[in-house]
């Protein structure tokens, strides 16, 4: 053991303060990614007086399935008010915050190396439970309180910048969907580029703008299939007719080591789409793997839809910003140009629930390439593809996504330095 490594149990105190007076009703759980989240448990008729209270600045963890999940769900409460947690969890606090900062300890818990060590400590229980005594025996480096403060500050600079970029990305997404509805559902698109320049549209969806097409008296015609009026020169078509080409993916044979994890072709699974721009994949395949499987090489600006997958993966959309391949659960849509592809991406995003409901109400519970091919698209007149803002918005999302990726690497680097803290290797970031 290095001289500055100490057992976790020397610095924490286990708490079992119950909600005996039913003072609190907000029930939270712990996500595997180490943050508190609203509980999904059915508590109708449940006696909440037996649940544990978590005060601000206290920790909670779920030691039940570490062997199965290879992670210890553990979180530090930064809530302003107390809340309650299942009595199956553990609540603890730091005994002396003049010796150990809660934020510093949470940084240690956030390391992938900590999770691997926790898995090593799990017992032989079929659920892979981590014993409390074993958890307390786990060791970590504890430098001076001044050094802890310095490291926490550096870590939070990166963490806050990631959060800021994630918020920017979310705002861009909300703006894009609002604009899609304004232009292509309400038919209030600009009559001309000069009367409604794109930068104004991006920055001000509902503010002072020139009248849109419908409000300005643009000519509308009745469409029997949609049972409503649509702008003249617009037409209804299927996604198959809208796209230049549609493809499904494939999976190279797993035993063939030469097919996998060579840094040649990014290979996306449905769980990676996440309604986002895609710049890097969790796995790569080789050119040989591509040639010897049904996987296809897809060009940049391909739109992807998850046809099936775990959880709420079905119907998720992704937009390729790189050349890549996918597994067979993804449907790939290739358009004539970036303008049409970005329009299609937001058409699928805005109508995502309706598209998924087609599968739910059909003979099969999943989407299929055939179902997606027949999804209807109200195709606008061609000149709108030259002025809609979706190419710009997706480019901005790509920039923030790339920055988040770089910051995540930096965050991991800071956490990795904790194990060498006695070497005084402290990084500085502005």
Quote the mean pLDDT of the chain.
90
Q: Where do runs of H (alpha helix) occur along 185-312?
A: 198-203, 239-242, 287-291
**Domain residues for 421?**
143-233+381-430
Domain boundary among 142, 171, 189: 142
Beta strands (DSSP E) in 343-396 are 376-379
Question: How high is the pLDDT of residue 300?
Answer: 98
**Model confidence at 172: pLDDT above 90:** yes
pTM (predicted TM-score):
0.85
* Same-domain pairing of 261 and 331: yes
* Domain count across the chain: 3
* Same-domain pairing of 272 and 365: yes
* Same-domain pairing of 372 and 427: no
Tens of pLDDT along 10-21?
A: 999 999 999 999
* Same-domain pairing of 305 and 372: yes
What is the Cα–Cα distance from 132 to 380, expressed in whole angstroms? 62
What is the Cα–Cα distance from 197 to 286, expressed in whole angstroms? 44
By mean pLDDT, which of 103-107, 192-196, 300-304, 361-365 is the weakest? 192-196
Tens of pLDDT along 225-237?
A: 999 999 999 999 9
Q: What is the pairing mode between strands 376-379 and 235-238?
A: antiparallel
Collapsing DSSP to helix, strand or coil, 399 comes out as helix
Domain boundary among 117, 142, 167: 142
* Same-domain pairing of 77 and 40: yes
Q: How confident is residue 205, by pLDDT bands cut at 50, 70 and 90?
A: very low
Question: How high is the pLDDT of residue 3?
Answer: 66
* Same-domain pairing of 224 and 246: no
* Same-domain pairing of 311 and 289: yes
What is the Cα–Cα distance from 23 to 82, expressed in whole angstroms? 10
Beta strands (DSSP E) in 74-223 are 74-76, 83-85, 90-94, 139-141, 220-223
Tens of pLDDT along 329-374?
A: 999 999 999 999 999 999 999 999 998 887 666 556 789 999 999 9
What is the Cα–Cα distance from 12 to 45, expressed in whole angstroms? 34
Tens of pLDDT along 64-77?
A: 989 888 999 999 99
Question: How high is the pLDDT of residue 95?
Answer: 97
Residues of the chain with pLDDT > 70, as a percent, come to 90
Which of 427 and 63 is assigned the larger pLDDT?
63
Domain boundary among 120, 142, 164: 142
* Same-domain pairing of 286 and 184: no
**Model confidence at 326: pLDDT above 70:** yes
């Amino acid at each position: 053991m290095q001289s500055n490594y100490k057992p976790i149990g020397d610095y924490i105190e286990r708490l079992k303060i119950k909600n005996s007076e039913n003072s609190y009703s907000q029930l939270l759980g712990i996500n595997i990614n180490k943050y508190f989240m609203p509980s999904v448990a059915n508590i109708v008729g449940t006696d909440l007086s037996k649940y544990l209270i978590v005060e601000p600045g206290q920790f909670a963890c779920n030691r039940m399935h570490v062997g199965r999940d290879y992670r210890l769900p553990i979180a530090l409460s930064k809530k302003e008010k107390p809340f309650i947690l299942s009595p199956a969890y553990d609540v603890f606090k730091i005994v002396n915050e003049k010796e150990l900062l809660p934020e510093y300890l949470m940084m240690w818990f956030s390391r992938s190396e900590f999770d691997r060590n926790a898995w090593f400590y799990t017992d032989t229980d079929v659920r892979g439970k981590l014993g409390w005594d074993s958890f307390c025996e786990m060791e970590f480096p504890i430098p001076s309180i001044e050094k802890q403060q310095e490291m926490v500050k550096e870590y939070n600079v990166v963490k806050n910048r990631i959060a800021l970029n994630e918020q920017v990305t979310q705002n861009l997404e909300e703006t894009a969907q609002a604009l899609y509805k304004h232009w292509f559902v309400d038919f209030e698109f600009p009559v001309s580029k000069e009367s409604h320049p794109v930068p104004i549209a991006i920055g001000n969806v509902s503010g002072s703008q020139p009248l849109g097409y419908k409000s300005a008296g643009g000519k509308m015609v009745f469409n029997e299939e949609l049972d409503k009026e649509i702008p003249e020169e617009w037409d209804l078509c299927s996604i198959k007719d809208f796209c230049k080409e549609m493809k499904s993916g494939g999976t190279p044979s797993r035993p063939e080591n030469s097919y996998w994890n060579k840094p040649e072709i990014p290979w996306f699974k449905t769980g990676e789409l996440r309604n986002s721009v895609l710049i890097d994949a969790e796995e790569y395949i080789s050119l040989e793997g591509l040639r010897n499987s049904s996987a296809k090489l897809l060009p940049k600006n391909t739109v992807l839809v998850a046809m099936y997958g775990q959880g709420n993966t079905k119907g998720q959309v992704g937009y390729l910003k790189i050349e890549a391949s996918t597994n067979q659960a993804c449907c790939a849509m290739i358009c004539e140009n970036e303008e049409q592809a970005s329009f299609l991406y937001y058409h699928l995003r805005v109508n995502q629930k309706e598209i998924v409901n087609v599968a739910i109400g059909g003979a099969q519970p999943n989407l299929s390439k055939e179902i997606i091919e027949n999804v209807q698209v109200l195709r606008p007149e061609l000149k709108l593809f030259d002025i809609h803002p979706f190419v710009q918005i997706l480019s901005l999302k790509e920039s923030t996504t790339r920055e988040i990726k770089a910051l995540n690497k930096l965050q991991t680097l800071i956490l990795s330095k904790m194990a060498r803290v006695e070497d005084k290797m402290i990084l500085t970031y502005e």
